[in-house]
Every structure is written in C-alpha cells, then in structure tokens.
Chain A
Amino acid sequence: MIRPAFVEPVLDAQDCFRAVLEAMSRPGRVQRLTMALDAPAPLAPASAAVLLTLVDAEAPLWLDAGEEAEGWIRFHAGCPLAVQAEASFLLATGTPPALADLRQGSDETPQDGATLIIQVESLEEGAGWHLTGPGIEKEHRLNVTGLPPGFASERSRLAKNYPRGVDIILCAGDRLAALPRTTRIEEG
C-alpha cells in the first residue's frame, strides 16, 4: 500500500515552503519542520516534505531512493522521472551526483539550474563551515555530517560559472538548510 502524504496538503506545503524560503534566504540557518509525515524509507521527513512541496508534473525529478519512494512521490506529486542531466530537482539519499553533471542553466536563463536535495546525517549551526554571501549578515556557521569528503571544494569550483549553477537543500531528519549558488563555503 502507498503511504499517505501531507495530512493537511495545503497548509503543510505552505509551512514547508516557508521553511525552505527562509533556508534559501539565510543560507546555513537550520529550519525545523513540524508537520507529521510518514514517508517511506529511506526518505527523511524533511526531504520527503520538500519534494511534496516543490515537485509536480512540471518538475522532472531524479532520485536514488529506491522503488517504494519512487512510487510514493510519483503517486502524490505526479512528477516525471528524469536522468541526472535533465532533472530540475534531484534527491540524493546516498552519494550525491557530480555537481558539474547537473543542469546549470545558461547565462541568459540561470534559473534553469537544478535544485539538488541531499539527505545528510546531521545539520548543526554554530560550528563547521564558515558561510558568507547574500542572506548572511557577517558569517553563518554550519556543521554537516554525511557529505562525501571534498564536497565543498567540488562545489566551489562551480562558483566561477555564476550566475549559472546548482542550488542545494540539505535535509537531516526533520531539519533542513540551504546553500544557494551564491554562498561561499570556507572549511574550518
């Protein structure tokens, strides 16, 4: 049987969207979702909620979460599945795909760059990376566990292509944070 989606589809989607908007506007600040959501494994509540909030028939999705999760999101969101290079949304529960292989948009249409949702082990403010850029007053700190080593430097190699690029949403349990393409990461 297919598991249910949001209990309150309209209000829960709004609640989740505001958390994502807040996360994208203030990179590195961790948002917590409060709605009840019983998503199939291996989807964390936050990544499942972000998918339900943002993808639909107009947003081709790639995910590596297995058959049950795939069937669940296709049933509830009606989204087409796509290969990595063509997806506008991607969800990685395992090793994330190489950023340079994803849609980057063009200089005239940078908004066509993909949104990559990565499920990680934990997200904590106040330690780890030093983040600067739009949305950040001086510096935000974000500690992420569960990313492959070298992820930050792989991402920073794409920075020279701005405004082309990929925006990233990190999800752990019911928490999420975002790294829009404008955010600079210094490891420390």
Chain B
Amino acid sequence: MSHDPGYNFAYLDENTKRMIRRTLLKAVAIPGHQVPFGAREMPLPYGWGTGGIQVTAAILGPRDVLKVIDQGADDTTNAVSIRRFFNRVAGVATTTRTPEATVIQTRHRIPEATLTEQQILVYQVPMPEPLFRLEPRLTETRRMHALADYGLMHVKLYEDIARHGHVASAYNYPVMVQERYLMSPSPIPAFDNPKMHRMPALQLFGAGREKKIYAVPPYTAVRSLDFEDHPFRPHRADAPCTLCGSRTSYLDEVVTDDRGGRMFVCSDTDYCEDRQSTQAARGEQAA
C-alpha cells in the first residue's frame, strides 16, 4: 500500500521529523524528564492527540503496523480518524489486534495484553506537568524537577488522605521514574500505572499544545507515589465484564436505561472481543 503522494511520507516535513527525533533520543536518555520541542500545527485541534500524532509520525516506517486506541477502544472517532490519517499519509498497515501492532498510539489507556520488546507505545498527553495544579509557574516547576523537590506532591497526597481517607486521584496518578523524575502518566486510570513498571516496550509521550516530549525506556522502574501506611491501591469496578466475564480487566460503566440499569464492560475492546471469540470457539467445540 502506498501513501498519498500529495504529502511527504507520514505527513511531517523532514526538518520537523529530525527535530522530533533528536528530542525523542534525549527524552529516552533522561527517563521521565520533559523535553521541550517545536510542536507543529496539525490538521486536527489540540486535545485530539496532536502530540501523539507528531511522535508517531516521526517514528513510523513503511514496515510498521499501527494500532490506535481511545480509552481502550479501537472504534471511537479519535482512534478511527488517526488510524485513517496514517493509512493515508504513510500507507502503513493498521490493525486493532494488540499483538500484531508494532506501534500503538493511545489516548488514556494501556492495553490489557502484555506488550513486547517489539512494540512502541505512544501516549497522547494533554498536560505533561504533574505539578501543574499545585504550581502553575513553569519556571518554578522546572526548578523543582531540577532539584527533585517533590514535597508539594506528597503534601497534596497527604491532604487527600486527611480529607477523604484515600488518595483522591483515580486517573493521572503521579509516578516516580527511576526514582528521579516525577512524571504524569497521562490521564490513564491508576489501574494501568503498574503496567508501566519495567514494561518491555518503549513508552513515548507527546504533548502537542504544551510542546513537550518525554519517555520511559524499557525495563525502567515506575513507582506510583504512596505512603507506607497508605500503599498505592489501583481501583477497579467490583464486577465481571458483562460481555466476556473478565474479572481482571479495567471496566467501563455503561448506563443502559433511565431506570438505573447499568452494565460493566471491558474498556479494552480488542481484549474483550478476543476473549468472546475464544469462548465462542470453545462453545462450538463442546457442542
């Protein structure tokens, strides 16, 4: 399959790709550190994944197989549009199957299937600065990162516990990378945080509006912040998936009527469909 000849391969011009590539290499060399880059305007609005798309465009090659997910789903507007975009401007093969993908661009989830050394996970990040709500001045947060001075975040977690009895962040839960940099994992559910720890795949983060790129190399320590007497506890709805019965996957709550009816289904559509078809195949064999 070839790409639309009206565009350079993968949309971006070569100067921009080189700039992003240099940024990516430094981001990998300093795990968790936010590296500024000259984010370009993309043919979609900020907040729709302009950072992730630029990272993907800078790494993507003709032999890659691309998967794009939005909150775990392959079939939502954002995921479908980005997949079609790269199919058109780079002519790459796309897939919804996690094990077949070499590059996975994600908005706010990590797939349930364990990722491998042959894969790269690209996160779309709205706000890369984990201290943003506590200290709005970037000049100050830069200094705090330089000094590894993260007391402010610990105070915030402590105040959560004092007020609510637990840390009141169910998503975008701050992590320490290699015990040096405080990092925003992007708004993934805290449930996904443990998957980042020593993941065999390379993890790249792109924030288009905020013009920052950061990375977590493979097998790098990623620790969710907590206290000895209040250890990190990822939250999961206490129910099996209605469609596939999974008791370990992250669930979405779906309201089904206006009388309080609801169901829980896997947020990772590929994982759920895979389990359903395996179960159907087993059912046929048994029959």
Contact = CB atoms under 8 A, between A and B. Distances in A.
Interface string A13-29: 11101101100111000
B216 to A, nearest CB: 8
B80 interface: no
A107 B144 CA distance: 10
A25 B28 CA distance: 6
A182 B29 contact: yes
Contact of B30 (A25, A56, A135, A182): A182
A119 interface: no
Given A10-B9, A14-B60, A135-B218, A180 B29 contact: yes
Given A15-B61, A25-B202, A134-B31, A53 B217 contact: no
Interface in A129-179: 134-137, 162-163, 165, 167
Query: Which residue, of A14, A59, A108, A113, has the highest number of chain B Cβ atoms within 10 A?
Result: A14
Contacts of A84: none
A180 B28 contact: yes
A172 B28 CA distance: 22
B256 interface: no
B23 A14 contact: no
B230 to A, nearest CB: 28
A29 to B, nearest CB: 10
B150 interface: no
A182 B27 CA distance: 12
Contacts of B60: 14
A110 interface: yes
B19 A58 contact: yes
A180 B202 CA distance: 15
A51 to B, nearest CB: 11
Given A14-B60, A25-B218, A108-B142, A167 B29 contact: yes
A31 interface: no
Contacts of B62: 11
A110 B30 contact: yes
Interface in B1-58: 8-10, 14-15, 17-19, 21-31, 33, 35-36, 58
Given A20-B25, A134-B178, A182 B59 contact: no
Contacts of B164: none
A111 B23 contact: yes
A110 B14 CA distance: 25
A2 interface: no
Contact of A108 (B28, B143, B217, B220): B143
B18 A56 contact: yes
A181 B217 CA distance: 13
A182 B142 CA distance: 20
A56 to B, nearest CB: 5
A54 interface: yes
A28 to B, nearest CB: 12
Interface in B206-257: 217-220
Given A9-B14, A108-B142, A111-B23, A134 B147 contact: no
B30 A17 contact: no
A47 interface: no
In order of increasing CB-CB distance, the 6 nearest A-B pairs are A180-B29, A107-B146, A135-B217, A111-B26, A134-B220, A134-B217
30 contacts: A10-B8, A10-B9, A10-B14, A14-B10, A14-B60, A17-B58, A20-B25, A21-B28, A24-B28, A25-B28, A25-B218, A26-B117, A26-B217, A26-B218, A53-B18, A53-B21, A54-B22, A88-B22, A107-B146, A108-B142, A111-B30, A111-B35, A134-B31, A136-B219, A137-B198, A137-B200, A167-B25, A180-B28, A181-B29, A182-B178
Interface of B: 8-10, 14-15, 17-19, 21-31, 33, 35-36, 58-62, 117, 142-143, 145-147, 178, 180-181, 198, 200, 202, 217-220
